[in-house]
Amino acid sequence: MSLTIVPGINDSNEKHWQSRWQATQTDAVRIRPASWDEPDLENWIAAVDAAVTTPDTILVAHSLGCLAAAAWLAQNPGRVRGALLVAPPDRFGAGFPQAAPSFRSAEPVLLGVPALVIASADDPYCALGTARNLAAAWGAGFVEVGNAGHLNAASKLGARPAGRAILDEFAHSLAGMVR
């Protein structure tokens, strides 16, 4: 299975686990929206659409990218194998990026594919209960990884081998599913 990487606002730098995973997987593709710094939801949905070239892919989203991936999935049910949604933000939380107001309209709905939300107990951008509620609204499984901040480069997770193990297990579970 291939990966479509859907980073959050400002993209994921070379120290971010998404970039490290992409560097080790030749069939991984990263979305290319018009703006990383002033994201527009419709543009990011279009960027996800352009990046998904095979139904045998898993969306690997982080932060604001989770909202873009979920919005794309709502419009494109069944076009991919599944989605790994890491550290989704609270779109009404105080820390939500002011530069991304269009993302507040991304109402959580059933995603139409198997999905897994991974959340940290001390994420400054989303309380654990809110992350659980998002997972439930999306029809996704939920994994809490303890106190690890926003699960980004600042969390100093490196290549995040524990997270990669979760992705690999999730991918393995999808491989046996009939579509």
> Is the separation of the CB atoms in 59 and 80 below 8 Å?
yes
What local confidence, expressed as pLDDT, does residue 149 receive? 83
Token output for 45? 């949905």
Distance, first Cα to last Cα, the chain: 14
Q: 156 lies in a domain?
A: yes
Q: 47 lies in a domain?
A: yes
Given a cut of 60, is residue 154 above it in pLDDT? no
Domains in the chain, number: 1
Average pLDDT of the residues of the chain: 90
> Is the separation of the CB atoms in 131 and 93 below 8 Å?
no
Note if the pTM is more than 0.75. yes
Rounded to 5, what percent of the chain is helix, strand, coil? 35, 15, 50
Per-residue pLDDT reduced to its tens digit, 94-133: 999 999 999 999 999 999 999 999 999 999 999 999 999 9
| CATH code for position 23 | 3.40.50.1820
What local confidence, expressed as pLDDT, does residue 1 receive? 80
Supply the range of the domain harboring residue 50: 8-54+66-125+136-160
Q: Are strands 57-62 and 2-6 parallel, antiparallel or unpaired?
A: parallel
